Amino acid sequence: MAYAVEIQLLIAGLSNGSIYALVALGLVLAFKGTGILNFAQGELVALGAYIALFFAVVMKLPYWQVVLLTLATAALFGAALERGLIRPLMRAPAFTIVVATLAIGLMIKNVLRLSWQESVSTIPSPFAGVLIRLGEININPQYLWVIGCTVVIMGLLVLFFRKSLIGKAMRAVAQNQEAARLMGIRVSRVFSGTFALSSALAALAGILVAPLIGIHAEMGAVILKGFVAAILGGFNSLAGCVVGGLLLGVLETLGGAYIGGTFKDTAAFGLLMLILLLRPHGLFGRAEARRV
């Protein structure tokens, strides 16, 4: 087959992109819902991976239980975080929010580094040792699993926001807090729910990426890729996040293979600069008028 390598790279890129998309989804959900841009989102990814590590290695639970329990724990943590530390800052200016969420991330990172110092640092993948062969194409099934999970989550999120009452309440709060409050929506609960969801998405990214890159305290650096994906997508639509994430993942992987490793590492920042300078409202967004 002529394009075997290209197809393998494309799948790897889509898989990386899916992770970026999940991070971006968490960022944008929280930002749209509460006006807080969470600079600790990267550390929430790492936290999710460590929680999964705990369930898998210490409790020795099977994979599917690990996933469900991790998502539930992460959601609880997200809600607690919102209630305890984020809510006092809800109306604070951008600078305070940036610095405060960075501080939260720093503390999470420190705790993670202190709490797990053993050598085992990845969760066993359910697909360990399996390799899918299609003619000349070799595919790591973990890649397909990552892509599949992201697609399913995306579908579930769309259903959640369209059909469920909680999802509708979240959308209402994102549009207009005052009006939502007047309609009898408990805005503070919606905030907690939003952070729970956002934190669970981050944890899912952590679980999915762990078998590919291992678990370490520096995993949080992925937040930058999440930012780029979210900004590519215009920072307001969930579909935009996914497209932005996949685009970034594929570009990085293909560029890294054909141009060089440095390109792979700097592509995200270059793309970020281009987008912010040329189309600050994202690839699909519209410019907003600013009230002075």
C-beta pairs of 255-260 under 8 Å, 24+ apart in sequence: 257/5, 257/9
Closer residue to other proteins in complex, CB, 102/239: 102
CA distance 242 to 4: 25
Site for other proteins in 178-237 (CB under 8 A): 221, 224, 227-228, 231
Closer residue to other proteins in complex, CB, 87/168: 87
Give the x/- contact pattern for other proteins in 78-97, rule: CB under 8 A.
-------x--xx--xxxxxx
Residues 6+ apart with CB under 8 A from 219: 42, 45, 46, 49, 206, 209, 213
The distance of closest approach from Cβ of residue 109 to other proteins in the complex, given in angstroms and rounded to an integer, is 7
CA distance 130 to 251: 27
Which member of 114, 128, 165, 182 binds other proteins (CB under 8 A)?
114
Which member of 151, 176, 259, 269 binds other proteins (CB under 8 A)?
269
Instruction: Identify any residues that bridge with 139 across adjacent strands, giving them in sequence order.
Output: 132
Beta carbons of 17 and 250 less than 8 angstroms apart: yes
DSSP letter at 245?
H
Tell whether residue 102 is a contact of other proteins (CB under 8 A).
yes
Tell whether residue 54 is a contact of other proteins (CB under 8 A).
no
Closer residue to other proteins in complex, CB, 39/55: 39
Tell whether residue 99 is a contact of other proteins (CB under 8 A).
yes
Tell whether residue 100 is a contact of other proteins (CB under 8 A).
yes
Helical segments of the chain, H only: 4-34, 41-53, 63-81, 94-115, 141-163, 165-175, 177-182, 187-213, 223-232, 238-258, 261-278
Closer residue to other proteins in complex, CB, 36/147: 36
Tell whether residue 251 is a contact of other proteins (CB under 8 A).
no
Tell whether residue 280 is a contact of other proteins (CB under 8 A).
yes
Following DSSP, what letter does each residue of 1-14 receive, concatenated? -TTHHHHHHHHHHH
Place of tokens 């999970």: 149
Cα angle value 287/291/292 (rounded, 5°): 130
As a dihedral over the C-alpha atoms of residue 229, residue 233, residue 234, residue 236, rounded to 10 degrees, the angle is: -100
The distance of closest approach from Cβ of residue 211 to other proteins in the complex, given in angstroms and rounded to an integer, is 24
The distance of closest approach from Cβ of residue 114 to other proteins in the complex, given in angstroms and rounded to an integer, is 6
Site for other proteins in 115-174 (CB under 8 A): none
Give the x/- contact pattern for other proteins in 3-32, rule: CB under 8 A.
------------------------------
Place of tokens 């990845």: 122
Closer residue to other proteins in complex, CB, 13/226: 226
Overall residue count recorded for the chain in this entry: 292
The distance of closest approach from Cβ of residue 188 to other proteins in the complex, given in angstroms and rounded to an integer, is 18
Residues that bind other proteins (CB under 8 A): 37, 39, 85, 88-89, 92-100, 102-107, 109-111, 113-114, 221, 224, 227-228, 231, 262, 265-266, 268-269, 272-273, 276-277, 280, 292
